[in-house]
Amino acid sequence: MDGRKETKEWVDVARAVLEIESQALLRVADRLDDNLAKAVSLILEHRGKVVVTGIGKSGHIGHKIAATLSSTGTPAVFLHAAEAVHGDLGIYTPGDPSILISKSGATGELLRLVPLLRQFKSPMIAIVGNLNSPLAGQADVVLDARVEREADHLNLAPTCSSTVALALGDALAVALMHARRFTHQDFAQFHPAGQLGRNLWLRVADVMHQGAAVAWVGPETPLRQVIIAMTKRPLGAACVVDQDSLLLGIITDGDIRRALLTYEDFRDVQAQDIMTKGPVSVPAPASLKDAARLMEDRPSQISVLPVVDPDTKRCLGLIRIHDIYQPDLI
């Protein structure tokens, strides 16, 4: 087979998988009903944790659902269905709701748990792909995870079914977030580490460059002096301020290069001639997430922002995109 033709076939197969799975998600969204709301109410009524259980691929999905619930305000743990009857049922406290995941709804390990969970007074939420299954018949709430077929050509590998189960778990978690009025601050509390936590916890004022570390120039500063100031303080920009430290503009390395291309004789060129007037700026109390959005969510991304005092409007310094994204945290 021609190599290029074979490669195209692989891409076509992969694209078909994504299309089949996306269609399955749309169908499950259309079927969503009050059972989702019942599951939310059931979980909200209990002050303790949620126990998510499954086995095989459903178990892997269960791990992710438990992690998503825990990180969004609903304490949750994963219980391996087979290990449960060998001592791990001790994780339960009376009334802990259970989420049981099974494509067939006839998974033996889960069915053996049902009478035991009744003893723990555990309300059961089943995510199943067969509404006529034994598990669906015994659960308190059933979330419909039916799929017409799997996405592979043999119709065997858990693809659509696992994707739909995971998406229903996400839908439940986000609905609970909404019901709990979960905030950015709550999210930050559960994600203190890594880049995500850094962006939520830290403020621009915590990482900005200020004082003598910044190239400060006035509107009438000669271009040569601007270049010298930026060379001594290599942050990629100079802040143009008036005598009261109010921000008039910003000069970046790119502005310098464009000036050298524009002016044959730049001895009389001043900062005000080449600066970007009224530049985008960020208030010092803003989160790093807000600063990153200002830099990145625009047609032409920028790599440095002036920092201002939100009350006095005085320019306090600069923050660079490199100050936000720490390599060891990405």
- If pLDDT is split at 50, 70 and 90, which confidence band does 200 have? low
Is pLDDT at 78 greater than 90 in this prediction? yes
Q: What is the CATH number of domain 204-329?
A: 3.10.580.10
- pLDDT for 179: 94
Rounded to whole angstroms, the Cα distance separating 185 from 85 reads 39
| Domain 3-182 part of CATH 3.80.30.20 | no
Alpha helices (runs of H) in the chain, residue ranges in sequence order:
3-31, 34-44, 57-71, 81-84, 108-119, 134-138, 160-180, 184-190, 194-201, 204-207, 223-232, 253-262, 271-274, 288-296, 321-324
Within 13 Å and on the Cβ side, how many CA atoms surround 298?
A: 12
Local confidence band at 192 (pLDDT 50, 70, 90 cut-offs):
low
DSSP bridge partners of 304 = 320
Q: State the burial class of residue 244 (Cβ atoms within 10 Å of its Cβ: 0-12, 13-18, 19+).
A: exposed
* Per-residue DSSP letter, 235: S
What is the pLDDT averaged over residues 22-28? 97
> In the chain, where are the structural domains located?
3-182, 204-329
Quick check: 194 pLDDT over 80? no
Residue matched to tokens 């197969």:
13
In three-state secondary structure terms, 157 is: coil
- The pLDDT-based confidence of 87 (bands split at 50, 70, 90) is confident
pLDDT band of residue 329 (cuts 50, 70, 90) is: very low
Decide if 39 contacts 125 (C-beta within 8 A).
yes
- Does the pLDDT value for residue 293 go beyond 50? yes
State if pTM tops 0.75. no
DSSP string covering 7-59: HHHHHHHHHHHHHHHHHHHHHHHHH--HHHHHHHHHHHT-SS-EEEEE-THHH
Write out pLDDT tens, residues 3-19.
777 888 999 999 999 99
Return all residues near 140 (Cβ < 8 A) that are at least 6 apart: 42, 123, 124, 125
Chain segment 159-183, per-residue pLDDT in tens: 999 999 999 999 999 999 999 998 7
